[in-house]
């Protein structure tokens, strides 16, 4: 165990010039370079309005005994104060004017700093002004956690139970009902609704929030909103659309209001897109954030974050710390390191409570982030960029920004062998500003950037729209189902032709399109399942192969966010031994199936009855079952959260199957081939054959791939494999790998179609 505290080790800010002047232990925090001009930019709007000077805030943070800053003391979270809090938000002053503008214009672009009250207040203003009388108010978010948290918050502000007046909808989880008037949802959910309701006629208002993030779904939504406006309001401009014929009668009856909300300064572009829509600016209430840059670049950002955290913890007054890291792996390793060192702190220091925060965590788990920090404790939130916008984490006063983010990027191969890559890369200026801003939500804060000021200045201004860097297959399938061709859509940015042809080819190989690029019945059936096309195809194939029960078990786990298997470098042997019983020799997919089955069996009986419901007739028995399953998962280093999430996904998929006329009870028992063959139908593009040197060569592409070390197939030499995805690090790895028989090829339509 390391004996010295990281904060006593070399500090980040020790630039080559300053290095030897002071012994490291004695250095206080600002070995960072101060950046006053930017400090100014972030802090300049600090309490522009005198009346906001001591604005009470209805946070759920308990008042702290000791004043945390030189600023105003933190207020108490009195419930009655919530209405007062609403009135004090910067946006409240402009409420009437804002409502008036939205009333007068079809499209309004609302630009405002984070914390001004856009996301929580605007829907309520519109609700209270009667906009929801003729339809719902839909608010889209790029992230699930934001949709659920915001719905919860706004329900509290409205004093109604969640899922009543205010609800949410995210994939595989819906909390809304007949009385719901304000619905927070992911942009993906709303684009999905277009399938059944191309005019989104249920909605009177659509608020596209965090539009600056320019997710693929947001872009598709914006293009469709433009069309819907024309059809429902009889206005707007842009190219004529293919569908919508015969819908003319629905015009005028139910006009739509669109509000585009964004936190950064790119409002112009949205305004231009919507025929120079009106832009409204709301001032924020951001406290000053003092920014420090590392004096020199850091090669190991996890270690740098660790040392910086302890410098803050040991030297600085109370206040929670939010650390931005690129992904789950870094979060887990830093969390472990922080816990390890925190235990070695001499007495007298506050406790350290670490809270991880990344998209793969379940809702309940993410909820911990928002819980009040216990007394004499410093909370340290380790987050990906999911904490960058949209949500408010109370208590945070220090931000450590590693300057890294994981970005998904699709590499479209001209031969159709494209793949998604998830690479850690540098953030852009807009990310950096947002991250720093998180420290100034409740009072003056501090942001430690683990990169130099020059690095900051050299960053790109903002993120490239996702539509320019992602696989388009699923999106194009959905568009085709509503009669839209992506190339004819009026998009803010047109995707690359290579990416479009790569997606067309994928859809063709999956049988979703025929050789005339027309949608097939199979394609329609695929789009009806809330799954990626590859998984949807596998489920549909399982119908003919009578193994839907097994395929749903596997696909549910693959659709869950979290990893199924926990990993700990120091326990590799122990883990391998624990899992030996259910690791399947055919590879990862059947290993998943075995795991799901073993977990279920661990709950007693079979864990489930024939209807798929967990045995619930005896409360006591059920409780015993639950704790047995939990214990089983722990003993086998299996992530129970993922299994629980998968189980709820599976319940949803069973409903979808029933609707689609697929018998989800159909099971092939212990047979392997039907299951693997079903999966292979979906993964036809993800197949590779062994080469003499033990690596694999794609069948429908040119890449040479290796099996990822985390796979149960790692180092195995089998003739042919299918895989879930390719990841590119220093070389191309296949992840989620199963061994298949070469004879499968002849039964796969894709191979016949390939020649077409």
Here the tokens at position 755 are 């020649």
669: left (phi over 0), alpha (psi -120 to 50) or beta: left
Give the C-alpha separation, 151 to 158, whole Å.
10
The answer to whether the beta carbons of residues 277 and 105 sit under 8 Å apart is yes
Tokens 């992506």 belong to: 486
Distance of CA 278 to the CA centre of its chain: 30
Taking the least distance from each CB to ligand CDP, the nearer of 141 and 308 is: 141
Q: Which residue is nearest to Mg ion (CB)?
A: 119
> Which x/- pattern over 423-462 shows residues binding ligand CDP (rule: CB under 6 A)?
------------------x---------------------
CA distances from 452 to 430, 456, 722 (A): 16, 6, 43
The answer to whether the beta carbons of residues 341 and 2 sit under 8 Å apart is yes
Q: Pick from 218, 373, 392, 478: which binds ligand CDP (CB under 6 A)?
A: 392
Task: Give min distance, CB of 276 to ligand CDP, in A.
Answer: 24
The entry of Mg ion, ligand CDP, none that residue 465 binds, CB within 5 to 8 Å by partner kind: none
- By CB under 5 A, the count of residues binding Mg ion is 2
Task: Give min distance, CB of 439 to Mg ion, in A.
Answer: 17
Calculate ∠ Cα 742-747-753, nearest 5°: 105
Task: Give min distance, CB of 206 to ligand CDP, in A.
Answer: 16
Where do the DSSP E strands lie in 587-710? 687-690, 696-698, 704-707
Task: Give min distance, CB of 390 to ligand CDP, in A.
Answer: 7
530: number of Cβ within 10 Å: 18
Q: Near ligand CDP by CB under 6 A, which window of 107-115, 164-172, 523-531, 695-703?
A: 107-115
Task: Give min distance, CB of 22 to ligand CDP, in A.
Answer: 39
119 part of the interface to Mg ion, by CB under 5 A? yes
Q: Near ligand CDP by CB under 6 A, which window of 109-117, 297-305, 605-613, 673-681?
A: 109-117
The entry of Mg ion, ligand CDP, none that residue 328 binds, CB within 5 to 8 Å by partner kind: none
Taking the least distance from each CB to ligand CDP, the nearer of 111 and 525 is: 111
Task: Give min distance, CB of 129 to ligand CDP, in A.
Answer: 17
Q: Near Mg ion by CB under 5 A, which window of 63-71, 110-118, 286-294, 606-614?
A: 110-118
Q: Pick from 29, 89, 432, 522: which binds ligand CDP (CB under 6 A)?
A: 89
34: number of Cβ within 10 Å: 13
Give the C-alpha separation, 396 to 567, whole Å.
30
Taking the least distance from each CB to ligand CDP, the nearer of 59 and 505 is: 59
Taking the least distance from each CB to Mg ion, the nearer of 150 and 476 is: 150
Taking the least distance from each CB to ligand CDP, the nearer of 94 and 562 is: 94
The entry of Mg ion, ligand CDP, none that residue 149 binds, CB within 5 to 8 Å by partner kind: ligand CDP
Taking the least distance from each CB to Mg ion, the nearer of 118 and 404 is: 118
Here the tokens at position 750 are 């894709």
566: number of Cβ within 10 Å: 17
Residues 6+ apart with CB under 8 A from 367: none
264 part of the interface to ligand CDP, by CB under 6 A? no
Handedness of CA 244, 246, 248, 251 (dihedral sign): negative
Taking the least distance from each CB to Mg ion, the nearer of 113 and 303 is: 113
Taking the least distance from each CB to ligand CDP, the nearer of 361 and 722 is: 361
> Which x/- pattern over 115-154 shows residues binding ligand CDP (rule: CB under 6 A)?
xxxxxxx---------------------------x---x-
The entry of ligand CDP, Mg ion, none that residue 478 binds, CB within 5 to 8 Å by partner kind: none
Taking the least distance from each CB to ligand CDP, the nearer of 119 and 686 is: 119
Here the tokens at position 182 are 């304000």
Tokens 């939205």 belong to: 102
Residue 685 has φ and ψ, to the nearest 5°, of: -80, -15
Tokens 């953030």 belong to: 427
DSSP states of 333-364: HHHHHHHHHHHTSPTTSPEEEEEEE-TTS-HH
537 part of the interface to ligand CDP, by CB under 6 A? no
Task: Give min distance, CB of 492 to ligand CDP, in A.
Answer: 22
The answer to whether the beta carbons of residues 75 and 63 sit under 8 Å apart is yes
Taking the least distance from each CB to ligand CDP, the nearer of 388 and 532 is: 388
| Nearest alpha-carbon partner for 363 in 559, 566, 148, 649 | 148
Taking the least distance from each CB to ligand CDP, the nearer of 112 and 607 is: 112
Taking the least distance from each CB to ligand CDP, the nearer of 58 and 662 is: 58
DSSP states of 146-159: HHHHHHHHHHHHHT
> Which x/- pattern over 23-62 shows residues binding ligand CDP (rule: CB under 6 A)?
----------------------------------x-x---
The entry of ligand CDP, Mg ion, none that residue 188 binds, CB within 5 to 8 Å by partner kind: none
What does the DSSP 8-state code read for residue 513?
A: B
Handedness of CA 639, 645, 648, 649 (dihedral sign): negative
The answer to whether the beta carbons of residues 602 and 628 sit under 8 Å apart is yes
Give the C-alpha separation, 628 to 401, whole Å.
41
Give the C-alpha separation, 185 to 208, whole Å.
10
> Which x/- pattern over 148-187 shows residues binding ligand CDP (rule: CB under 6 A)?
-x---x----------------------------------
Binding residues for Mg ion, rule: CB under 5 A, are 118-119
Binding residues for ligand CDP, rule: CB under 6 A, are 57, 59, 89, 112, 114-121, 149, 153, 392, 441
């Amino acid at each position: 165990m390391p004996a010295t505290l990281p904060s006593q080790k070399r500090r980040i800010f020790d630039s080559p010039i300053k290095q030897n002047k002071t012994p490291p232990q004695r250095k206080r925090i600002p070995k960072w370079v101060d950046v006053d001009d930017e400090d100014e930019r972030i802090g300049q709007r600090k309490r522009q309005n005198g009346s906001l000077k001591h604005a009470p805030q209805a946070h759920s943070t308990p008042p702290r005994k000791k004043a945390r800053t030189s600023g105003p003391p933190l207020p108490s979270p009195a419930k009655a104060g919530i209405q007062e809090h609403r009135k004090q938000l910067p946006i409240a002053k402009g409420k009437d004017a804002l409502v008036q503008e939205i009333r007068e214009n079809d499209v309004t672009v609302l630009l405002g700093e984070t914390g001004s009250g856009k996301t929580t207040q605007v829907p309520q203003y519109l609700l209270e002004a009667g906009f929801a009388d003729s339809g719902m108010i839909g608010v889209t978010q790029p992230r699930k956690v934001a949709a659920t948290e915001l719905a919860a918050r706004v329900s509290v502000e409205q004093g109604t139970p969640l899922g009543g007046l205010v609800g949410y909808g995210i994939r595989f989880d819906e909390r809304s009902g007949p009385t719901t008037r304000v619905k927070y949802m992911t942009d993906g959910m709303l684009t999905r609704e277009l399938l059944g309701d191309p005019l989104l006629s249920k909605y009177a208002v659509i608020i596209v929030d965090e539009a600056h993030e320019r997710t693929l779904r947001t872009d598709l939504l914006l293009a469709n909103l433009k069309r819907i406006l024309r059809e429902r309001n009889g206005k707007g401009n842009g190219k004529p659309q293919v569908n919508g014929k015969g819908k003319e009668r629905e015009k005028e009856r139910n006009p739509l209001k669109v509000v585009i909300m964004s936190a950064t300064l790119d409002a112009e572009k949205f305004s231009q897109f919507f025929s120079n829509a009106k832009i409204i600016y709301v001032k924020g209430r951001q406290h000053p954030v003092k920014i420090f840059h590392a004096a020199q670049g850091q090669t190991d950002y996890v270690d740098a974050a660790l040392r910086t955290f302890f410098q803050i913890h040991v030297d600085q007054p109370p206040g929670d710390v939010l650390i931005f890291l690129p992904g789950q792996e870094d979060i887990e390793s830093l969390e472990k390191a922080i816990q390890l060192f925190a235990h070695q702190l001499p007495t007298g220091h506050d406790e350290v409570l670490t809270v991880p925060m990344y998209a793969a965590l379940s809702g309940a788990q993410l909820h911990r982030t928002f819980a009040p920090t216990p007394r004499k404790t410093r909370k340290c939130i380790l987050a990906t960029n999911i904490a960058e916008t949209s949500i408010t984490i109370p208590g945070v006063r220090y931000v450590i920004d590693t300057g890294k983010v994981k970005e998904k990027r699709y590499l479209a191969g001209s031969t159709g062998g494209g793949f998604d890559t998830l690479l850690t890369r540098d953030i852009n200026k807009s990310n950096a500003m947002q991250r720093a801003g998180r420290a100034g939500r409740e009072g003056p804060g501090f942001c430690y950037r683990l990169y130099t000021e020059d690095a900051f200045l050299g960053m790109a201004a903002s993120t490239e729209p996702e539509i320019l860097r992602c696989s388009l297959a699923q999106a194009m399938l959905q568009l085709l189902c509503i009669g839209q061709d992506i190339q004819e859509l009026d998009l803010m940015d047109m995707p690359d032709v290579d990416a479009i042809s790569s997606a067309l080819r994928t859809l063709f190989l999956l049988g979703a399109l025929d050789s005339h690029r027309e949608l097939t019945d199979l394609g329609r059936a695929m789009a009806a399942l809330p799954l990626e096309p590859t998984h949807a195809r596998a489920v549909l194939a399982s119908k003919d192969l009578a193994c839907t029960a097994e395929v749903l078990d596997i696909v549910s786990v693959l659709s869950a966010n979290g990893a199924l298997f926990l990993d700990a470098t120091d326990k590799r042997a122990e883990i391998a031994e624990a899992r030996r019983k259910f690791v399947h020799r055919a590879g990862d997919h059947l290993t998943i199936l075995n795991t799901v089955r073993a977990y279920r069996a661990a709950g007693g009986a079979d864990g489930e009855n024939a209807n798929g419901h967990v045995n619930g007739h005896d409360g006591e028995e059920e409780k015993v079952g639950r704790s047995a399953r939990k214990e089983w998962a722990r003993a086998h280093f299996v992530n129970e959260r993922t299994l629980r999430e998968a189980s709820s996904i599976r319940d949803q998929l069973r409903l979808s199957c029933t609707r689609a006329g697929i018998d989800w009870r159909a099971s092939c028992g212990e047979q392997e081939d039907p299951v693997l063959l079903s999966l292979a139908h979906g993964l036809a593009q993800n197949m590779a054959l062994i080469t003499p040197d033990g690596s694999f060569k794609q069948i429908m592409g040119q890449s040479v791939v290796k099996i990822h070390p985390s796979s149960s197939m790692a180092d195995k030499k089998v003739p042919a494999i299918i895989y879930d995805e390719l990841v590119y690090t220093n070389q191309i790895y296949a992840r989620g790998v199963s061994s298949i028989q070469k004879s499968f090829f002849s039964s796969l339509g894709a191979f016949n179609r390939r020649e077409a």
